[in-house]
Amino acid sequence: MQYVAGIDPHRTSTGLSNRKMVMWAFLGSDVLFFGTLIGTHMVYRGAGAGPREELLDIPITSISTFVLLMSSLAMVLALAAIQRGNLGSFRLWTAATATLGMVFIGFQMYEFTVFAHEGLTPRSNIFGTTFLVMTGFHGAHVTVGILWLWSLFFASFKGKVRQATSLDVEVAGLYWHFVDIVWIVIFGVVYLIGAYGAEAVEGATHAAARLGLG
Amino acid sequence: MAHEHATHAPAEHHPGPGLYVRIGITLVVLTALEVAVFYFDFPQIVMTLILLALSTAKFVLVVGYFMHLKFDDSRFMWLFVFPLVVMAAIGIALLALFYHFTG
């Protein structure tokens, strides 16, 4: 069987790579997962007493957003490098992607620490519960991506990552870009719109009180 | 056959590093615009619409170019877009219902 760069060698009834198909199906299911978390947060974001949107640090989060966007750029450059058979460039951009991801996680740990010092925990109010669960799950996804990228980086030294197997990198890249687009939505909707419109969600407080969620 | 064409030579149809870098710069500019809009004193509805438009533009750029959905087989796109549309519809309905019944 002829092995073409970036192509899954296994013939499928659809004519498409089964690994890419599985990854896109997983990402589709993850859209529903994160959509649920973001939707729940948006509905209840103004509910309950205690620290809420005023703790969101927009300048710091803007920097971490920039870091994650640059990691996505590095990821796609790593894929372009391996598709052209440039192993050295692939290693450079993959290491850059994983490192930027680790920096992003560092920002998130800093944010969570500040929140905890200010009294915002998953137990403090429903804002804390929905916000920390949502961003925590995103952070967990980023962490899995970091481990995946480092495994590709080290596998490249054993000859397991090369131009003929660039589909492995492409599938990892799809996952990494997905965590980036989830953050694009969280940053725009939860941080910017949420922090700006905090005073406009008083209705949520009344509703949560009615439901005993305050 | 269109599907075969897309399946058997995707790497050749992907853009090069030059376009990726331009997309990356555009993403940074859009993010800077988002943050700038946040600090302007717009009416909330105006600011919300601008921020949603900017977030959507960033989302489409990453999915279309970095994830290659613009260049790959359309079946991959539907696998991703269908749950996205379902989720957006559920979210809008939930928010509308919530605010309708809570004032």
Q: How far is CA A125 from CA A45, A110, A130, A194, A214, in A?
A: 10, 20, 9, 16, 7
Chain B residues 46-85 with CB within 8 Å of chain A: 47-48, 51-52, 54-55, 58-59, 62-63, 65-68, 72-73, 75-76, 79-80, 82-84
Both tokens of A89, joined, read 């460039």
**Interval A77-100 mean pLDDT:** 97
Higher-pLDDT residue of A111 and B2 is A111
Which of A70-74, B22-26, B93-97 bottoms out in mean pLDDT, i.e. has the lowest? Answer: B93-97
What is the share, in percent, of chain B residues with pLDDT greater than 70? 86
Q: Which residues of A touch B90 (CB under 8 A)?
A: 35, 39
Residue A137 pLDDT greater than 70, yes or no: yes
Cα A38 from chain centre: 13
Q: Are B70 and B64 in contact (CB under 8 A)?
A: yes
pLDDT of A197 reads 63
Any long-range contacts for B46-49 (C-beta under 8 Å, 24+ apart)?
Answer: B47/A193, B47/A196, B48/A193, B48/A196, B48/A197
Is residue A2 within a helix (H) or strand (E), and if so which, with residue range?
A: none
Chain A residues 46-85 with CB within 8 Å of chain B: 58-59, 62, 65-66, 69-70, 72-73, 75-77, 79-80, 83
**Interval A98-108 mean pLDDT:** 98
User: How many Cα neighbours within 13 Å face the side chain of A43?
Assistant: 23
Higher-pLDDT residue of A14 and A151 is A151
Which of A83-87, A90-94, A209-213 bottoms out in mean pLDDT, i.e. has the lowest? Answer: A209-213
Q: Which residues of B touch A200 (CB under 8 A)?
A: 44
pLDDT of A51 reads 76
Chain A residues 102-121 with CB within 8 Å of chain B: none
pLDDT of A8 reads 54
Residue A10 pLDDT greater than 60, yes or no: yes
Higher-pLDDT residue of A1 and A61 is A61
The two most distant CA atoms of chain A are separated, in Å, by 65
Neighbours of B34 (CB within 10 A): 25
Q: Are A44 and A210 in contact (CB under 8 A)?
A: no
Cα A192 from chain centre: 17
Higher-pLDDT residue of A2 and A45 is A45
User: How many Cα neighbours within 13 Å face the side chain of A105?
Assistant: 18
**Interval B15-41 mean pLDDT:** 93
pLDDT of A166 reads 94
**Interval A26-43 mean pLDDT:** 94
Q: pTM of this prediction?
A: 0.87
Residue B28 pLDDT greater than 90, yes or no: yes
Spatial distance between the Cα atoms of A198 and A69, rounded to a whole number of angstroms: 26
pLDDT of B80 reads 94
Amino acid at A135: T
Amino acid at A124: S
ipTM score: 0.86
Q: How far is CA A65 from CA A54, A69, A100, in A?
A: 19, 6, 11
Residue A213 contacts B where some CB pair is shorter than 8 Å: no
